[in-house]
Amino acid sequence: MPSQSKISNKMNKYLSISQEVKEALEAGRPVVALESTIISHGMPYPQNVETALKVEQTIRDNGAVPATIAIIGGKLKAGCTPEEIEYLGKKGQAVTKASRRDLPVLIARGEDGATTVTTTMIIAAMAGIKVFATGGIGGVHRGAETTMDISADLEELAQTPVMVICAGAKSILDLGLTLEYLETKGVPVIGYGTEELPAFYTRRSGFKVDYRIDTPEELAAAFRAKLEMGLAGGMLVTNPIPEEYSLDPNYINEAIDKAIKKSVELGIKGKATTPFLLAEIKDITGGNSLDANIQLVLNNARLAARTAVCLSNKND
Which residues are catalytic, by number?
35, 170
Spatial contact of 131 and 313, defined as CB atoms under 8 Å apart: no
Which H/E stretch holds residue 152? helix 152-159
Which H/E stretch holds residue 189? strand 189-192
CA torsion angle 123 154 200 309 (round to 10): -40
CA–CA distance, 182 with 173 (Å, rounded to integer):
14
